[in-house]
Structure 1
Amino acid sequence: MDRLTRIGGAARPWVPLVVLVTLVQAVLALMSRTLPIFGMPLTETGGMPPEAVGQLSSATSFGSMVFFLWGPALLAGVQPLRQLQLGCATAALAMLACAAGRWEGMLLAAFLIGFGYGPSAPAGSDLLMRIVPRGRRATIFSIKQAGVPLGGLAAGLLLPAVAARFGGVTAALATASGLAMATAFALGFWSGTAESTASARGAKPLHDLVLAPVRLLALVLSSPRLRLVTAAGFALGIAQGIVMGFYPVFLSDHAGWSVAAAGAAFALLQGIGVPGRIVMGWLSDRMGEPVRAMAGLCFASGLTMILLTTIGPDSSAAHVGLLSALAGLTVVSWNGVFLTGLAEAAPEGRVGEITAAGTFVLFSGYVVCPLIIQAVFTATEGYTTGLLISGATPLLAGLALIAGHVRHASKPPA
């Protein structure tokens, strides 16, 4: 541990906490990616068409949104690491409910998995914002967010193999649940930097809980910079939500790949996203401005979504692999930059609340857009039109982001 905390002769006591929060992020991400990976067998078991997997993705995102609105106020007196522990335990118990095979139960389980995922953004950001030096925030936040594709990579490689060898989808769901519960148990033993730096505030009265969502969203809308970052995150989230919710099913249903092969391609996408997020955070720190970095990511993400329409039944493995890697580098690599932009623009002492509010707006896209795009897929009897729509949105957002940034930068100081 001493080697981890001393780099170049300078003490970095925040490094163990970054590692811990990143690992928790990875486990929670694994939980949220499990249902899309098994979209084909789960929808079949539930008596639904393959594209109905979008309902599971939306339910998961909706669960996170509910937490973002009320969680920070409801858990104001709970230490951030304890919030992460509760999230892991909630997701672990919910995953087991999917094994019953009823579609309604799967939707409820997906909602609770999303609710358990909720603390990862506000609690993790609050912890890191307190102890990470300003000049390294985008990089460190992106390292934390690299836990998301890392968890997806683990889900894509581990869980289909478990299903194939040890009893089918039920065994895979139980494995995911066990990992999350083990993480919750392990968090109970942490007694490091986090508990000494994170201050717990008193619990909110009932009327404050009722008004919490309104106050949070009003706070985000009151700042031009927060509006820009949040709007860009929403647009980027549309493309990301479609890839995360539909990509394995797209490869199986449209391109004719097996569940295991589609899971491997999904794992490649997630795996490239791990260094991709770190690189994007490092570039943002070098640029000194998350807004400009997000504009570039909007263009890259939109173009990638358009390129995914070239995948078909006759596509070679190399073609699919190349586009999967490109999607990992662009479509899933911007979240750390997004959280940094929110955290740096937040008022003093409001980082957790602001990141929760901004992430709520982002996740609203995760909820609504898979349902809309599912309808487009069904109406057009194919995936091309939906992917094109998903790509056009971040392209337009990139143009708007640049225009808004130039407009605000050109204003003379008051």
Structure 2
Amino acid sequence: MTGSRGPAAASAWIPLVVTVTLVQAVLALMSRALPLFGMPLTASSGMPPEAVGQLSSATSLGSMLFFLWGPALLVRLPSIRQLQLGCAVSAAAMLFCAAGRWEGLLIAAFGIGLGYGPSTPAGSDLLMRVTPKHLRATVFSIKQAGVPLGGLAAGLLLPAVAAFFGGVDAALVTAAVLALVAAAALGFWKGTVDDARPAASAASPFRHLLLAPVRLIGLLVHAPRLRLITAAGFCLGVAQGVLMGFFPVFLSDHAGWSLTAAGAAFAVLQGLGVGGRVVMGWMSDRLGDPVRALSGICLASGLTMALLASIGPGSSPLWVIVLSSLAGLTVVSWNGVFLTGLAEAAPEGRVGEITAGGTFVLFSGYVVCPLLMQAVIAATGGYAIGLILAGLAPAIAGLALMIGAGRRQR
């Protein structure tokens, strides 16, 4: 069965995947906007360039809080409505950037992360109900390809808007408008695949909300396969969080690239990530086991982070572009496989909760690691050691997955 409406859902699932992917891209664009303009935003606020890590951490913190309590708080709200709400919250959060103060930017980053939150549980719930089983990893990876697609759009579109149409403020307003357009586009699907409200919990609303984080983490820890996938996702998120939070500033502050050039390299990274996520999902479907796919991706991610540490002021543009492309294929291309593994291992009817819980653990790395990276940069005076340390986490996870797989085969 491909969805709640049988054959009707089967004929409609492709355009729904396209819509959900584009919404994912817009929400990702919102989350990339502040780090992309890290140099001018930190300078105008009187902060050092490496403080951009605080914005990335605030965004991830907002998403984490949604993953913990959002699914329980919005349990009666259909998934499409949750996605629309997320777009609206992200757009409203951009208003806090207008004050030009660092506190306002942190609030904006937090609000953008909060609005991004529904994209994982609500989007996963929709796709799990309409996607054919043999294509799930591919379709989930297509949906997650919306994340680097949004980063690609951010790298190409927003610096151009800033350069030709009124500076950074104009670019941030443009991002907010795109989020509102995405919310309106979701309205076309209301009543077709998502018109049933989930059943209310038997527990009291307050107790249900209070115990939601305990239930989520308990589910992940209890099942060995979920525990293994979640741990691998956390380690992969360490490298991805550092790369997404610092790459444009790394190229501008460390390698001496202009904002436009750094944005173009960031766009290359994100553009390769779009195709990379689809390829990784296809490979996972061919292997028939997301855990096996994740083990190889972990090792590739760790190696790539070590290579990125070689970039310096004298690096050739070709070398930087080659490594940006490699990072797009490895460091940012695993999320769809990760979510597929969680969704397939989730108990019946709990896909949204499990993907939210697993992504909460993943985003905890997104919160902590950029702050640690800022401390490492301040202590060492450079970026290389931080990049290498961030790459060790997925490399170790990849080895652990391979060892665990070998033991299971015996």
TM range (shorter): over 0.9
* Residues 13 and 130, structure 2, Cα contact 8 Å, conserved in 1: yes
- 2:328 equivalent to 1:302: no
Per the TM alignment, residue 346 of structure 1 is displaced from its structure 2 partner at its CA by: 0.2
CA distance in 2, matches of 1:201, 1:370: 39
Letter of the aligned partner of 1:19 in structure 2? V
Identity of paired residues, percent?
72
Counterpart CA distance in 1 for 2:199 and 2:262 is 46
2-side partners of 1:314 and 1:128: how far apart? 46
Q: Which residue identity lines up with residue 14 of structure 1 in the other structure?
A: W
Name which of 191, 199, 202 aligns with 1:201.
Answer: 199
Give distance in 2, aligned partners of 1:83 and 1:231. Answer: 27
* Structure 1 residue aligned with 2:224: 224
Query: In 2, distance between residues paired with 1:133 and 1:409?
Result: 29
Q: Which runs of 5+ in 2 are unaligned?
A: 1-8
TM-score normalized with structure 1 length = 0.95
Contact 2:121 2:353 in 1 (8 A): yes
Letter of the 2:333 counterpart: S
Letter in 2 for 1:69: L
**What TM-score, normalized to structure 2?**
0.96
Report deviation, 1:381.
0.3
Shift of 1:199: 4.4
Q: Matched residues in 1 for 2:197 and 2:326: separation?
A: 41
Following TM superposition, where does structure 1 have runs of at least 4 consecutive aligned residues deviating by more than 6 angstroms? none
Paired residue type of 1:333:
S
Q: For residue 234 of structure 2, what is the aligned residue in structure 1?
A: 234
Q: Distance in 2 between matches of 1:290 and 1:40?
A: 38
Kept in 2: contact 1:299–1:395 (CA 8 A): yes
Contact 2:80-2:190 at 8 Å conserved across structures: no
Aligned to 2:262: 262
Residue 108 of structure 2 corresponds to 109
Tell me the distance in 2 between the aligned counterparts of 1:136 and 1:217: 28
Counterpart CA distance in 2 for 1:86 and 1:409 is 45
Other-structure match for 1:389: 389
Q: Alpha-carbon deviation of 1:314?
A: 0.8
Residue ranges of structure 1 left out of the alignment (5+ in a row)? 1-9
CA offset at residue 297 of structure 1?
0.2
Q: Distance in 2 between matches of 1:11 and 1:90?
A: 31
SS of 1:119 mapped into structure 2: helix
Distance in 1 (alpha carbons) for counterparts of 2:126 and 2:119:
10
1:27, distance to aligned residue in structure 2 (A)? 0.4
Q: Distance in 2 between matches of 1:62 and 1:146?
A: 22
Cα distance in 2 for residues equivalent to 1:274 and 1:53: 24
Matching residue's letter, 1:118? G
CA RMSD, 1 decimal: 1.3
State the shift of 1:186 in Å.
Answer: 2.6
Instruction: Tell me the equivalent position of 1:66.
Output: 65
For 1:335 and 1:246, locate their aligned partners in 2 and report how far apart those are by CA, in whole Å: 19
Q: Does 1:130 align with 2:129?
A: yes
* 2:43 aligned partner: 44
Structure 1 equivalent of residue 3 of structure 2: none
Q: CA separation in 2, counterparts of 1:353 and 1:385? A: 36
State the alpha-carbon separation in 1 of the partners of residues 290 and 11 from structure 2. Answer: 24
SS at match of 1:201: coil
